[in-house]
């Protein structure tokens, strides 16, 4: 099992809108049959930073989901609104769950 973590850093003044859209994207993922990501709001580091975490059975499952997500307009339309709010592209980290 793996955990995929994405970190989003908003442009100044867009943190509230970014948080709402990231949560909305999670709902859309859940509605499309994917595990709903957990959303974390940072209390340290860059102001307004958000992180999501989503678990997958394997890298192969995660990679297959990427193509499916890109072909799901209900999800991609939300990310089209998220990207302009970011100070930089999101950072993705993948961790193997060991227990």
What's the mean pLDDT in 50-59? 96
What's the mean pLDDT in 42-63? 92
pLDDT at 28: 96
CATH classification at residue 44: 3.30.70.100
At 6-50, the pLDDT tens digits run 999 999 999 999 999 999 999 999 999 999 999 999 888 888 999
d(CA 62, CA 67): 9
* Residue 86, domain extent: 2-96
- CA proximity to 22, closest of 36, 3, 4: 36
For 21, the token pair is 């859209």
pLDDT at 42: 87
At 72-82, the pLDDT tens digits run 999 999 999 99
Helix H or strand E encompassing 34: none
Helices (H), 1-99: 15-31, 59-70, 73-82
Per the structure, how many domains does the chain have? 1
The pTM of this model reads 0.90
């Amino acid at each position: 099992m793996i955990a995929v973590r994405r970190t989003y850093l908003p442009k100044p003044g867009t943190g509230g809108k970014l948080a709402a859209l990231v949560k909305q994207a999670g709902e859309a993922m859940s509605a499309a049959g994917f595990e709903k990501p957990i959303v974390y709001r940072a209390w340290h580091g860059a102001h307004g930073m958000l992180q999501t975490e989503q678990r997958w059975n394997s890298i192969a499952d995660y990679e297959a989901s990427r193509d499916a997500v890109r072909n799901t307009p209900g999800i991609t339309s939300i990310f089209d609104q998220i990207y302009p709010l970011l100070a930089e592209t999101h950072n993705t980290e993948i961790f193997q769950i060991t227990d």
